[in-house]
Structure 1
Amino acid sequence: MSDGGSGYLRYVALGDSQTEGLGDGDDVTGLRGCADRFAEELAKGSPDVLYANLAVRGRLAGQVRAEQLPAALALRPDVATVVAGMNDLLRPRFDADEAGGHLEAMFAALTGQGARVATVTFPDVGRISPLARPLGGRVLALNSRIREAAGRHGVVIADMSAHEVVTDPRLWSADRLHASPLGHARIAAAVAHAFGLPGSDEAWTLPLPPGAPAPTRLRAVGAELRWAGGFLGPWLLRRVRGQSSGDGRRAKRPDLLPPGGLDSRVLD
Structure 2
Amino acid sequence: MTDEMGAVRTFVAVGDSFTEGLADDPGDGVYRGWADLVARRLAALEPDLTYANLAVRGKLIGQIVADQLDLAAAMRPDLASIAGGLNDAMRPGCDVEAVCALIEKCAQVLSESSGRLVMFRAIDFTKRMPSARRFQAKADLINAFVDQTAEKYGAAVVDLHSARVFDDPRLWAVDRIHLNDEGHRRVAEAVLEALGHEPAFGWRALLPPARKPWPGARTWSDLRWLLTFLLPWIRRRLTGTSSGDGVLPKRPELTRVL
**Residue identity matched to 1:17:** S
Change (3 A) 1:254 1:167: same
Mapped pair 1:185 → 2:194: no
Deviation at 1:152, TM superposition (A): 1.1
Give the TM-score of the pair, scaled to structure 2: 0.93
Change (3 A) 1:162 1:201: farther
Q: 2:74 touches 2:113 (CA, 8 Å); kept in 1?
A: no
Residue in structure 1 matched with residue 102 of structure 2 by the alignment: 102
Q: Could you tell me how far apart the structure 2 residues matched to 1:250 and 1:85 are? A: 19
Q: 1:12 touches 1:53 (CA, 8 Å); kept in 2?
A: yes
Residue in structure 1 matched with residue 230 of structure 2 by the alignment: 232
Mapped pair 1:77 → 2:77: yes
Give the match's secondary structure for 1:125.
Answer: coil
Indicate the percent of aligned positions where both proteins have the same amino acid.
38
CA deviation vs aligned residue, 1:17-74 (integer Å, no higher than 9, x gap):
1111111117952211111011112112222211000011111011111110110011
Give the match's secondary structure for 2:254.
Answer: strand
Change (3 A) 1:57 1:117: same
Change (3 A) 1:248 1:123: same
Change (3 A) 1:36 1:252: same
Q: Of 234, 239, 248, which aligns to 2:246? A: 248
Mapped pair 1:124 → 2:124: yes
Q: 2:8 touches 2:79 (CA, 8 Å); kept in 1?
A: yes
Give the RMSD, CA atoms, in angstroms.
Answer: 1.9
CA deviation vs aligned residue, 1:204-247 (integer Å, no higher than 9, x gap):
1111122222676x643443233122211100101101100111
Q: Could you tell me how far apart the structure 1 residues matched to 2:202 and 2:191 are? A: 12
Deviation at 1:156, TM superposition (A): 0.6
Give the match's secondary structure for 1:87.
Answer: helix
Deviation at 1:202, TM superposition (A): 7.0
Deviation at 1:97, TM superposition (A): 2.0
CA deviation vs aligned residue, 1:60-93 (integer Å, no higher than 9, x gap):
0111111101100111111001011111111111
Mapped pair 1:209 → 2:208: yes
Change (3 A) 1:29 1:201: closer
User: Can you give the 5+ residue segments of structure 1 that lack an aligned partner in the other structure?
Assistant: 261-268
Q: Could you tell me how far apart the structure 2 residues matched to 1:230 and 1:200 are? A: 36
Q: Could you tell me how far apart the structure 1 residues matched to 2:26 and 2:200 are? A: 29
Q: 1:39 touches 1:259 (CA, 8 Å); kept in 2?
A: yes
Deviation at 1:7, TM superposition (A): 1.3
Number of residues paired by the alignment? Answer: 258
| Farther-moved stretch of structure 1 (187-196 vs 144-153) | 144-153
Give the match's secondary structure for 2:126.
Answer: helix
Q: 1:3 touches 1:9 (CA, 8 Å); kept in 2?
A: no
Change (3 A) 1:219 1:82: same
Give the TM-score of the pair, scaled to structure 1: 0.90
Q: Could you tell me how far apart the structure 1 residues matched to 2:139 and 2:6 are? A: 37
**Residue identity matched to 2:199:** S
Q: Could you tell me how far apart the structure 2 residues matched to 1:95 and 1:37 are? A: 33
